[in-house]
Structure 1
Amino acid sequence: MTNNVPVHTARGPRPNEDWTAVADTVNARMAQQRIGQKALADTSGVSVATLRRIQHGAHGRRVQNTTLTAIARALDWPDDHLIRVLQAGGTPTSVGQPTEREILAGIDRIEQRLDDVCRRLAAVEELVTTQAANR
């Protein structure tokens, strides 16, 4: 067990797992973040086929926890978020409310974007200064 979450394999769905809740949760977050299937697949390292299966309720075959963890990370959730949704039928405490980790991840993304904007602005300023000096 890791983080009090039982380790599962791809043997098949278990009776108390709510894959529909996982599908609904993933689809809602993708819509909220305006991220497409291909982009999420690329970010998470999960194949489009596996992601599609999850988005449709993972019928027939259980998806491994590592896959759910990768998707959760790519959607800026705690690692075990989708596992908790799977086990709780869509009622983990963080659904609908950002966790501290999500807030910090958002702040980190903002800081990274701000750093990028600052670098670009500095490059533009240097270019303008160089062009003005050459006139």
Structure 2
Amino acid sequence: MSLAEQPSGDDWDAVAEAIQTRLAETRMTQLDVASRARLSLTTVRELQHNLNSRRRRPQTLAAVSQVLGWPPDYLQQVLNGDQPQSHEDEVKDPVLQALDGLARQIQELRERVEQIEHQLAAEDAKP
């Protein structure tokens, strides 16, 4: 989707990414979110994959935010380009902090493996 097609200032790609990430973290499905938020499955699918970035009612984003365990205004803040904060108990949760640390370590390892693969490919390409 081009920037010209998006309503000014709205970052629907960021909303989609936030929903996608949270679904993976919570192991919830689109159907879970739709039924708990009392929305259509199509609406949840459109939000998760940014299939239709038309304006949504604030209640829609609030309902999805709450079902995903965020404050009601979380996705609206993401849409506006802000850096929303999770619930205070989530920020202080030692299990989530440990998971964040593991995610960072995995990312570092991926980058190292990628660098090694590039080096090996470059060596193989030399005559």
After TM superposition, the score normalised by the length of structure 1 is: 0.58
Aligned CA distance change for structure 1 residues 68 and 25 (closer, same or farther; 3 Å) = same
Question: Which residue is equivalent to 2:75?
Answer: 82
Question: Which residue is equivalent to 1:70?
Answer: 63
Deviations 1:66-106 (A, max 9, x none): 00000001011000000000001xx5242xxx422657xxx
Which residue, out of 87, 102, 112, partners 1:99? 87
Q: What are the residue-to-residue correspondences of 1:102-113 with 2, within 5 Å? A: 102=90
Question: Which residue is equivalent to 1:26?
Answer: 19
Q: What are the residue-to-residue correspondences of 1:18-57 with 2, within 5 Å? A: 18-57=11-50
Q: Structure 2: how far apart are the matches of 1:80 and 1:99? A: 11
SS of equivalent to 1:70? helix
Q: Structure 2: how far apart are the matches of 1:30 and 1:45? A: 17
CA root-mean-square deviation:
2.3
By percentage of residues, which structure has more helix? 2
1:15 aligns with 2:31: no
The structure number with the bigger radius of gyration is 1
Q: Which has the higher contact order (CA 8 A, sep 6+)?
A: 1
Q: What one-letter code is carried by the residue in structure 1 that aligns with 2:42?
A: A
Gaps of 5+ in 2: 92-127
Aligned CA distance change for structure 1 residues 23 and 68 (closer, same or farther; 3 Å) = same
